[in-house]
């Protein structure tokens, strides 16, 4: 089943089966059959060898991670169907990314007999799993999926099954539309005179009967939405459409009952049908370009409550104040709590953007949303999770940036006056036609009401920005929302943090200057192992691995200074020169070491600038650049080589200084982009107009910033900014296009040259044109900039 | 000519039953996913593949 179990046997590199009858060696790898070899060749030729890395990276079982699934209440809420020997569950597996995934998942029953069947929805990244709970528990299932590389994502609220309402409405509208047209044939061909009056009346009343479901079932959403708007004294986009539908229906019923004419029921049905088709297309497109992030799925679902020595998984909503819960490595704290037991080291990147863990002392408060890094801890809840800090943090949108709303505001302005203007135009043209040629009046009114399409205007911005978000995301540059994309195009000042942003955090040379015995090296390693500071990690990595496990006591880390502890009976201190010995005149950029108060020497740490940095700076000639650094200015000369001469460089900056500097720039009217890695930048990131966290681990979610950029992609920043500007021009172009469409369309409608049916076809067509234009032009420019 | 009334009503019933079929197909999920089945048909059953060897 997994490669671990059959490691002794020869395993086919392609399919993972044992090579029993045949063994083909090709490219130093074993294959069980020529077919597998051929597929392997094909994959290598097309550069798809990554598929093997994916398949073979069987993740170790994460012990206990899914234990809460044994809780009946939680399991009940997650399942679609439950019985004694057949359960069904729909799971979101974000890891699904290619047809091999579909293949693997749909053959899941080969991994475990308990699986009855699996069907995959590739687009939604969902699987529908039927399994036998007697042989396979939900927890085992989750572990199985986790192990083969598809960790399931459980949501607190299982998404409601998408209703097929819309397609049924379209079906009903199409049915009625077709039949009404059929019954209107005599009228179309001018047979009215030749056929019997009773037939005519029969057809007309049948048409009314057929129009009823169109009005009250298919078109009800328009009526309802318009009514809701009016009730709140607000004229929304659906008002003209609702008005048009009602006008057509009322007029037709009047004409038929008074026997003055055949009515316009065919127009009515066609209108609703085409409107719904347009709506369906839009929702399909939105489904494919869905960028909404489900914040809830970042929260854990259950916590482990400590009860009389044992632990029990309980849903978070059931946690009460005073409950003791267990938080293990990499788990998120579900509610504000006080530390009771264990060494807490909390990573608040989820809340603040700060990736470096904060150590919490006994009795101190831990806030919801932090993630424990290290050993398991026991905490006592002080506030119910529903009221907790983090929930309110999201609810009151504390991280929604303060400034303007961009084109969203323009769109809102337009829609506000749009409908009023349309109603005015409709009234005016009705008055004109009443005087000039009353026969045309109904056709003109409905055509005017229907043809005007604010949708095209409203769609320009979200679709362009959405597409940009997607393209950025493909380049490992993740922006929080569409608004951030717009703000990106207005940036004129860029502020870089030095450490971790311009320099690489996990490389750089460490050089020891002084004398050190092997034993002492072991002490230093032991000491630095206990710290999360980047310098400690670098020093630890530079020392040889030591198997002898020295005792460690009284460990202490003083932020900004250094570490100390009693290792193997010796008092070891590691840190800045002034921390080791107040009289020591230190060399900048060094970490000093003392053992039993005797200065042993120093580690010289040289930062390494990211590759491509010089190219990046050359790409940004139009921006005011600043480098902020918490370190001293020893690297100024090297930075001068890379940055242009007018770049401002500020050293020894405290977090507050960074924030103040951003404020200072903003006061000068600059739109500021801040790039920082986190340790001290959270405040500055939040203050800046666009705060980008540069990180090595993009899965870290940090609401304090507007975007997350993978460190290695920093050199593409110039392209990203340029592409953001292109996006802005695309939005303005499509604004112009849809304005032109509306003016021309209304012109034809007012002059009576447009039938309502044609208007109903034109309207969704204009939306589709805008969507196509924004998406295609976005992709075109992205390709030009080699972003896709 | 009055047979037309009956014929039209019958045609309505026939057309209506097709509408009913459409609604039924829709509710039973035939249109939920139009991408994955296209991939699925290309996969051999695992058992068959093993027999081939």
Residues in chain B within 8 Å Cβ distance of A163: none
Residues in chain A within 8 Å Cβ distance of B36: 102, 119-123
Residues forming a β-bridge with A358: A346
Measured in angstroms, the CA of A32 and the nearest CA of chain B are apart by: 8
Q: What is the pTM of this model?
A: 0.58
Give the nearest chain A residue to B25 (CA atoms).
A168
Is B23's CB within 8 Å of A119's CB? Answer: no
Q: Tell me the Cα Rg of chain B.
A: 22
pLDDT of residue A46: 55
Q: Is A162 on the interface with B (CB under 8 A)?
A: yes
Is B12's CB within 8 Å of A168's CB? Answer: no
Closest by CA position to A93, among listed A140, A151, A141: A151
Taking a C-beta distance cutoff of 8 angstroms, is the pair A343, A331 a contact?
Answer: no
pLDDT of residue A531: 61
Q: At A638, which helix (H) or strand (E)?
A: helix A636-642
Give the nearest chain B residue to A103 (CA atoms).
B43
Is A206's CB within 8 Å of B52's CB? Answer: no
Is A183's CB within 8 Å of B23's CB? Answer: no
pLDDT of residue A431: 92
Q: What value does the mean pLDDT take over residues B4-10?
A: 88
Long-range Cβ contact pairs of A222-226 (< 8 A, separation 24 or more)? A222/A275
Is B36's CB within 8 Å of A120's CB? Answer: yes
Taking a C-beta distance cutoff of 8 angstroms, is the pair A87, A133 a contact?
Answer: yes
Q: Is A283 on the interface with B (CB under 8 A)?
A: no
Is A122's CB within 8 Å of B36's CB? Answer: yes
List the 490-519 stretch of A: residues with Cβ below 8 A of B: none
Nearest-by-Cβ selection for B31 from A32, A99, A164: A164
Q: Is A167 on the interface with B (CB under 8 A)?
A: yes
Specify burial of residue A523 (Cβ count, 10 A radius: 0-12, 13-18, 19+).
buried
Taking a C-beta distance cutoff of 8 angstroms, is the pair A694, A711 a contact?
Answer: yes
Q: Is A603 helix (H, G, I), strand (E, B) or coil?
A: strand
A530-566 exposure pattern, b = at least 16 Cβ within 10 A, e = fewer = bbbbbbbebbbebbeebeeebebeebebeeeebbbbb
The three-state (H, E, C) secondary structure of A389-455, written as one string: HHHHHHHCCCCCCCCCCCHHHHHHHHHHHHHHHHHHHHHHHHHHHHHHCHHHHHHHHHHHHHHCCHH
Closest by CA position to A694, among listed A369, A705, A116: A705
Residues in chain A within 8 Å Cβ distance of B52: 33, 35
Nearest-by-Cβ selection for A123 from B1, B35, B49: B35
Q: Is A81 on the interface with B (CB under 8 A)?
A: no
Rounded-to-5 percentages of helix, strand, coil across chain A: 50, 20, 35
Q: Is A69 helix (H, G, I), strand (E, B) or coil?
A: helix
Residues in chain B within 8 Å Cβ distance of A175: 15-16, 18-19
Nearest-by-Cβ selection for A107 from B8, B42, B46: B46
Taking a C-beta distance cutoff of 8 angstroms, is the pair A152, A93 a contact?
Answer: yes
Task: Retrieve residue A674's tokens.
Answer: 């801040």
pLDDT along chain A (788 residues), means of 10: 45 64 70 65 59 48 66 72 77 71 76 82 77 85 78 56 73 92 81 75 90 92 84 74 86 87 83 81 59 35 68 69 75 78 73 66 76 74 59 39 55 72 89 87 82 71 78 77 79 85 71 81 76 68 70 66 81 82 70 85 79 85 86 77 86 80 90 76 77 63 64 86 91 88 89 79 77 86 86
Residues in chain A within 8 Å Cβ distance of B43: 102-103, 106-107
* Cα–Cα dist A738/A448, whole Å: 16
Strand A624-628 vs strand A648-650: parallel, antiparallel, or unpaired?
A: parallel
Measured in angstroms, the CA of B43 and the nearest CA of chain A are apart by: 7
Residues in chain B within 8 Å Cβ distance of A196: 1
Is B33's CB within 8 Å of A168's CB? Answer: no
Q: Is A172 on the interface with B (CB under 8 A)?
A: yes
Nearest-by-Cβ selection for A164 from B8, B26, B43: B26
Strands of the A87-92 sheet, one edge to the other: A79-81, A87-92, A126-131, A115-121
Residues in chain A within 8 Å Cβ distance of B4: 199
Residues in chain A within 8 Å Cβ distance of B30: none
Q: Is A120 on the interface with B (CB under 8 A)?
A: yes
Phi-psi region of A416 (alpha: psi -120 to 50; beta: other; left: phi over 0): alpha
pLDDT of residue B16: 93
Is A167's CB within 8 Å of B31's CB? Answer: yes
Measured in angstroms, the CA of A196 and the nearest CA of chain B are apart by: 9
Spell out which chain B residues touch chain A, with contact meaning CB-CB distance below 8 angstroms: 1, 4-5, 8, 12, 15-16, 18-19, 22-23, 26-27, 29, 31-33, 35-36, 39-40, 42-43, 46, 49-50, 52-53
Is B5's CB within 8 Å of A202's CB? Answer: yes
Task: Retrieve residue A2's tokens.
Answer: 């997994």
Specify burial of residue A490 (Cβ count, 10 A radius: 0-12, 13-18, 19+).
middle
Is B53's CB within 8 Å of A102's CB? Answer: no
Q: Is A202 on the interface with B (CB under 8 A)?
A: yes
Residues in chain B within 8 Å Cβ distance of A178: 15
Angle between helices A265-288 and A756-784 (to 10 degrees): 20
Specify burial of residue A215 (Cβ count, 10 A radius: 0-12, 13-18, 19+).
buried
pLDDT of residue A211: 94
Taking a C-beta distance cutoff of 8 angstroms, is the pair A581, A595 a contact?
Answer: no
* Cα–Cα dist A114/A130, whole Å: 9
Is A199's CB within 8 Å of B4's CB? Answer: yes
The three-state (H, E, C) secondary structure of A466-488, written as one string: HHHHHHHHHCCEEECCHHHHHHH
Task: Retrieve residue A7's tokens.
Answer: 């490691």
Is B36's CB within 8 Å of A32's CB? Answer: no
Measured in angstroms, the CA of B27 and the nearest CA of chain A are apart by: 7
Size of interface A-B (CB pairs under 8 A): 71
**pLDDT, tens digit, 9 for 90 and up, residues A220-235:** 888 888 888 788 777 6
């Amino acid at each position: 089943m997994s490669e671990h179990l059959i490691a002794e046997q020869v395993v086919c590199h392609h399919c993972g089966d044992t090579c029993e009858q045949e063994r083909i060696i090709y490219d130093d790898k074993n294959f069980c059959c020529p077919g597998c070899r051929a597929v392997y060749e094909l994959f290598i030729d097309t550069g798809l060898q990554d598929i093997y890395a994916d398949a073979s990276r069987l993740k170790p079982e994460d012990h206990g991670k899914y234990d809460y699934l044994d809780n009946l209440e939680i399991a009940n809420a997650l399942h679609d169907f439950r019985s004694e020997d057949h359960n069904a569950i729909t799971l979101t597996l974000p890891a699904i990314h290619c047809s091999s995934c579909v293949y693997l998942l749909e053959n899941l029953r080969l991994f475990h007999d308990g699986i009855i069947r699996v069907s995959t929805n590739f687009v939604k990244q969902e699987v529908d799993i039927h399994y036998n709970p007697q042989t396979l528990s939900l927890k085992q299932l989750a572990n199985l999926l986790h192990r083969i590389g598809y960790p399931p994502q459980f949501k607190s609220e299982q998404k409601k099954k998408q209703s097929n309402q819309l397609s049924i409405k379209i079906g009903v509208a199409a049915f009625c539309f077709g039949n009404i047209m059929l019954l209107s044939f005599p009228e179309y061909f001018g047979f009215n005179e030749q056929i019997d009056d009773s037939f005519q009346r029969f057809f007309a009343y049948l048409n009314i009967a057929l129009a009823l479901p169109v009005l009250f079932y298919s078109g009800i959403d328009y009526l309802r939405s318009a009514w809701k708007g009016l009730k709140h004294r607000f004229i929304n986009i659906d008002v003209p459409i609702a008005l048009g539908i009602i006008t057509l229906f009322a007029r037709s019923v009047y004409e038929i009952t008074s026997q003055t004419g055949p009515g316009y029921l065919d127009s009515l049905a066609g209108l609703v049908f085409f409107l719904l088709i347009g709506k369906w297309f839009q929702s399909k497109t939105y489904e494919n370009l869905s960028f909404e992030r489900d914040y809830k799925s970042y929260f854990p679902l259950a916590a482990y409550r400590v009860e009389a020595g044992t632990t029990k998984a309980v849903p978070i909503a059931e946690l009460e104040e005073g409950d003791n819960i267990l938080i293990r490595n990499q788990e998120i704290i579900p509610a504000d709590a006080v530390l009771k037991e264990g060494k807490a080291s909390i990573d608040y990147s989820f809340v603040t953007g700060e990736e470096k863990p904060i150590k919490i002392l006994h009795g101190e408060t831990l806030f919801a949303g932090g993630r424990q890094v290290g050993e398991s801890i026991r905490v006592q809840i002080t506030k119910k999770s529903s009221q907790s800090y983090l929930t309110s943090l999201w609810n009151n949108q504390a991280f929604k940036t303060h400034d303007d709303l961009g084109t969203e505001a323009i769109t809102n302005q337009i829609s506000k006056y749009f409908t009023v203007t349309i109603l005015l135009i409709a009234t005016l043209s009705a008055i004109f036609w009443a005087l000039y040629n009353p026969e045309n009046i109904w056709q003109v009114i409905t055509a005017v009401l229907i043809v005007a399409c604010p949708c095209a205007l409203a769609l320009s911005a979200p679709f362009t920005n959405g597409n940009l978000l997607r393209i950025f995301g493909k380049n490992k540059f993740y922006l929080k929302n569409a608004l951030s994309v717009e703000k990106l195009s207005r940036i004129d000042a860029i502020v870089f943090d030095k450490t971790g942003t311009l320099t690489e955090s996990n490389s750089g040379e460490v050089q020891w200057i002084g004398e050190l015995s092997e034993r002492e090296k072991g002490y230093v390693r032991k000491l630095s192992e206990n710290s999360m500071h980047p310098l400690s990690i670098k020093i630890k990595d530079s020392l040889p691995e030591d198997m002898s496990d020295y005792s460690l006591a009284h460990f202490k880390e003083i932020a900004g200074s250094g570490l100390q502890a009693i290792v193997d009976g010796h008092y070891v201190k590691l840190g800045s020169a002034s921390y080791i010995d107040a009289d020591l005149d230190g060399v900048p950029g060094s970490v000093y070491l003392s053992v039993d108060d005797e200065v042993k020497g120093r580690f010289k740490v040289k930062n390494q600038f990211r590759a491509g940095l010089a190219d990046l700076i050359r790409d940004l000639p139009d921006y005011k650049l600043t480098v902020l650094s918490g370190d001293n200015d020893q690297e100024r000369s090297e930075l001068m080589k890379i940055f242009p001469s007018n770049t401002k460089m500020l050293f020894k900056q405290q977090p507050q200084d960074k924030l103040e500097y951003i404020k200072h720039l903003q006061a000068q009217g600059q739109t500021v982009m801040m790039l920082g890695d986190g340790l001290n930048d959270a405040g500055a990131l939040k203050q800046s107009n666009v705060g980008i966290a540069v990180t090595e681990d993009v899965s870290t979610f940090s609401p304090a910033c507007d975007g997350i950029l993978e460190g290695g992609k920093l050199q593409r920043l110039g392209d990203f900014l340029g592409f953001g500007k292109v996006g802005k021009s695309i939005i303005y172009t499509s604004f112009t296009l849809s304005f032109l469409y509306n003016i021309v369309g209304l012109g034809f409608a007012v002059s009576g040259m447009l039938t309502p049916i044609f208007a109903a076809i034109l309207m969704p067509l204009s939306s589709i044109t805008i969507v196509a234009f924004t998406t295609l032009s976005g992709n075109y420019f992205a390709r030009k900039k080699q972003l896709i | 000519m009055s047979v037309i009334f009956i014929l039209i009503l019958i045609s309505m019933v026939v057309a209506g039953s097709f509408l009913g079929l459409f609604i039924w197909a829709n509710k039973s999920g035939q249109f939920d996913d139009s991408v994955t089945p296209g991939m699925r048909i290309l996969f051999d059953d695992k058992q068959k593949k093993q027999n081939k060897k």
